[in-house]
Amino acid sequence: AQSVTQLDSHVSVSEGTPVLLRCNYSSSYSPSLFWYVQHPNKGLQLLLKYTSAATLVKGINGFEAEFKKSETSFHLTKPSAHMSDAAEYFCVVSEGSSNTGKLIFGQGTTLQVKP
Amino acid sequence: EAGVTQSPTHLIKTRGQQATLRCSPISGHTSVYWYQQALGLGLQFLLWYDEGEERNRGNFPPRFSGRQFPNYSSELNVNALELEDSALYLCASSSNIGLTDTQYFGPGTRLTVL
């Protein structure tokens, strides 16, 4: 069965410092992996997607994630945090959701950015 | 290009009533998905519709149902509302060209059951 674990429920950084949000996954297949962001009282916005084309995936707003099969990890990073990055971030795995329609979400990591 | 839209933004109902939530997918997308985001329970898959048919459903009781119309828009109906149905309901859509599984989400409908 597919699963995803976000290792930190809350991360706090200062503006201008690097961001690291950690995610481990479990999959029987070669998975599709995603990071979504949810700002307060908003829907989910796709940050980036991994589909085996390249292990380092670049997303929007300066975010990127690296797929490491040996560590079953898909951590999200950004070199320099902005105040506008404060939001909840979800790591998501899809086991061929083209067949099941189902995305499996981590529990989310709340990113706080301090001035 | 317009994204996924949902209506209403907020919905307040009392226990035992029925709620109807609506979703319009991105133009050209044929699949619509529904998710529930309840406090403390995270995001859970509810339903998947494609080409007018229900393709899969999550672990929810039958009082959660829906349909997809010929224009690919969708309704989610929740009957006999219970207090624990209070949640943000998110709709997503995707294109089935190339069997992509990327889902694009709408802003959600906040359902409050009193």
Model confidence pLDDT, tens digit, residues B66-75: 999 999 999 9
- Please compute, for residue B79, the number of CA atoms within 13 A of its CA located in the half-sphere on the CB side: 6
Residues of A in contact with B104 (CB under 8 A): 46
| Better pLDDT: A80 or B95 | A80
Tell me if chain A has a CB within 8 Å of the CB of B21.
Answer: no
Residue A45: exposed, middle, or buried by beta-carbon count in 10 A (0-12, 13-18, 19+)? middle
Tell me if chain B has a CB within 8 Å of the CB of A49.
Answer: yes
- Report the chain A residue with the minimal C-alpha distance to residue B105: A44
Average pLDDT score over chain B: 93
Average pLDDT score over chain A: 91
- Give the distance from residue A104's alpha carbon to the nearest chain B alpha carbon, in angstroms: 8
Cα-based torsion angle of the residue sequence B54, A44, A104, B59 in order, rounded to the nearest 10 degrees: -50
- Give the distance from residue B17's alpha carbon to the nearest chain A alpha carbon, in angstroms: 25
- pLDDT for B1 equals 66
Q: Are the CB atoms for B85 and B111 separated by under 8 Å?
A: yes
Residue B20: exposed, middle, or buried by beta-carbon count in 10 A (0-12, 13-18, 19+)? middle
- Give the distance from residue B11's alpha carbon to the nearest chain A alpha carbon, in angstroms: 14
What is the band of B76 on the pLDDT scale with cuts at 50, 70, 90? Answer: very high
pLDDT digits (tens, 9 = 90+) for A58-83: 999 999 999 998 999 999 999 999 99
